[in-house]
Amino acid sequence: MSELYEFKQEDAFRFANSIMAQTKIKGKELHFQYCPYCNGGKKRDKFTFSINLNDGRHTCLRSSCSVKGNMITLSRDMGFELSEDFLRYYNVDNYNSSHFRKFKEAHIQSKDKAIEFLNSRGISENVCRQYELTIKDGTENVLVFPFKDYDGQLRFIKYRNIEFVKGVTDGSKEWCERNCMPILFGMNNCNLENKTLILTEGQLDSLSVTECGFENAVSVPTGMNGFTWVPHCWDWIHNFEKIIVFGDYENGKISLLDEIKKRFKMSIYHVREEDYLDCKDANEILLKHGREQINKCITNAEPVPVNNIISLADVESVNIFEMPKLKTGIKKLDYLLYGGLPFGGITLIAGKPGEGKSTVASQIIINAIENNHKCFVYSGELPNHTFKAWMDFQIAGDKYIRKYQDSKWKDTRYVVDEKYTKKINNWYSDKCFLYDNNIIEGDEKESIVKTVEESICQYGTEVILIDNLMTALDLEEVQSFDKYDKQSLFVKRLTKLALKYNVLILLVAHKRKNNFSTNDNDEISGSGDISNLAMVTLSYGKGKDIHESQRLLKVSKNRLFGKLETNGWLMNYDDASKRIYGDGDDVNVEYGWVKGIDFEDIPEDKEWEIPF
């Protein structure tokens, strides 16, 4: 249907609930008592409207109505909310600002002041008008860059103060319109038959390349570190077979290049460093050295090396104590590992079924979100809603959880109030992505390794949780009848991903039910490569002479530093919040969803009547 929306069966049912429709399921169709478009006509015909539960397409059988479409058209026509990305893209329910909508509806005409400024930067009036550059209404000095997609729809607006002087002028040099969809500047002027795309950092740079007669020059919306445009341009950019990166050249590096190499599979080229001639970017080259030098930059662009051999002298020297790490929130563990779990490898979390290893894993994911790392989670043994509920308890913490006595079952129950779950949802809405376990029988299953890589490339995920190894293997099409070979190959593929993208992969694995080894690494069920390939191995489970609610956390492998904790630290468990904590840990830590929000006071005893 769209690069931003994939049909989920639950959306059909959510739509029915949103309009309070009476429905019934017949085969693979969800039938509505009355069509939401024609309402059954004068005769009030019943069950003429249905949504296909395989692909989301809908139709009405009444000849005078005959409406057809999909969940996207339902969302547009009925104001039904599918997702934030969808709203952002199609501007449903006035998602964009009023100023954006007015600008979108108007015919954009280049103004003399814009043409005059662009001329001063070596860019002609023709190019200025081609890209519809103008001056913001009510100002004399704010240049407007309209970002239109390939279909010519305005999606994003960027502004530039053309009189800005650093250290003198108040405010910012550049800024963006709020609540818009970030895309590449110049998409609507590209020729898809030309399979080469030229990517610059700034809009003036892409215009400079266009000025010199080159097609398909585009620029990123928010600078070298802003890659929020990737999911929205993913399908479009794969029309091209080659990308020439013409980023800003500063401090011996070309901006954009490293990230583009990681995210895209097509041929990646870059402008040679010597062709910048001590200039920073394309516009400066155009002004100082003219069109011939821009032409030289493009035609002499060289491919990024793809061979697998480098000189040892070219390997970057790294201080392993200062490598990027993820804080787990468990102080003793973070101290032992000099800051947390290292990126660029697999951390194995091993334990016996039902002893809490998934609880440890989800709590680490929460700390990753807290530290602004995007996460991807595969939870093979839990339905989506169960995993979410468990995470929400851990995120909320005891302070924001209601406790009540169930009069029927005579026990204590816990619930996170709806007003808090909404705030929690907002907190992790763009930071945590979940493999969708609601796969309809007969649908093609996606490889976990493939899905993980796509999440890294499209959404910039940095911390990946696979819980657990055995269920993930069911989704892998590995040509081997030997289960140990299959496990080994799977873990090797994950290891390569972790190294390639410098991400942290948390892999949950079972221990053998009956094992007499004293080595925790030998207790892991399956191929020996599972523990051999891990950078860090954590063991979590019950121990002798400790309370039933307590566990031992051990570090049985530490490839970076060698320091281990084989006796284990004693970890406690809070039943209400599902949090684990050890000596020195703050079980009541408040995550970012709480900060800056004024909450109502909650009674100290937090005793509530049953809420249903």
Beta strand extents in 125-195 (DSSP E only)? 134-135, 142-148, 154-161, 174-176
Q: Which residues contact 400 (CB under 8 A, 6 or more apart)?
A: 416, 417, 420, 594, 599, 602
Residue 103: the pLDDT is: 62
pLDDT at residue 91 in the model: 47
pLDDT of 356? 92
Tell me how many degrees the CA angle 570-573-576 measures, rounded to the nearest 5. 170
Looking up tokens 């697998």 gives 308
Question: Domain boundaries in the chain?
Answer: 9-82, 98-303, 332-608
Question: CA of 458: how far to CAs of 167, 196, 314, 363, 451, in Å?
Answer: 37, 21, 29, 24, 10
The whole-number pLDDT of residue 544 equals 87
Q: Which CATH number fits domain 9-82: 3.90.1580.10, 3.40.630.30, 3.40.50.2000, 3.90.580.10?
A: 3.90.580.10
Do the beta carbons of residue 150 and residue 188 sit within 8 Å? yes
For position 408, what pLDDT does the model report? 73
Residues in the chain: 612
Residue pointed to by tokens 């006796």: 567
Taking Cα atoms as reference points, which of 475, 543, 472, 481 lies closest to residue 508? 472
Q: Which residue has the tokens 């002479």?
A: 545
Collapse the DSSP code of 162 into the 3-class scheme (helix H, G, I; strand E, B; otherwise coil) and give the result.
coil
**pLDDT under 50: residue ranges of the chain:** 1-3, 88-95, 516, 599, 601-612
Q: Is 341 helix (H, G, I), strand (E, B) or coil?
A: strand
* The architecture CATH gives domain 332-608: 3-Layer(aba) Sandwich (3.40)
Task: Measure the CA–CA gap between 149 and 93, rounded to whole angstroms.
Answer: 20
CA dihedral over 527, 532, 538, 541, signed as positive or negative: positive
pLDDT digits (tens, 9 = 90+) for 424-466: 999 999 899 999 877 655 555 678 999 999 999 999 999 999 9
What is the reported pLDDT for 603?
Answer: 41
* This prediction's pTM: 0.68
Rg (CA), the chain: 28
Residue 46 gets which letter from DSSP? -
**pLDDT for residue 132:** 92
| The CATH number of the domain covering residues in 98-303 | 3.40.1360.10
Residue whose pair of structure tokens reads 């892998």 in the numeric block: 476
As separate numbers, helices (DSSP H) first and strands (DSSP E) second, the chain gives 19, 30
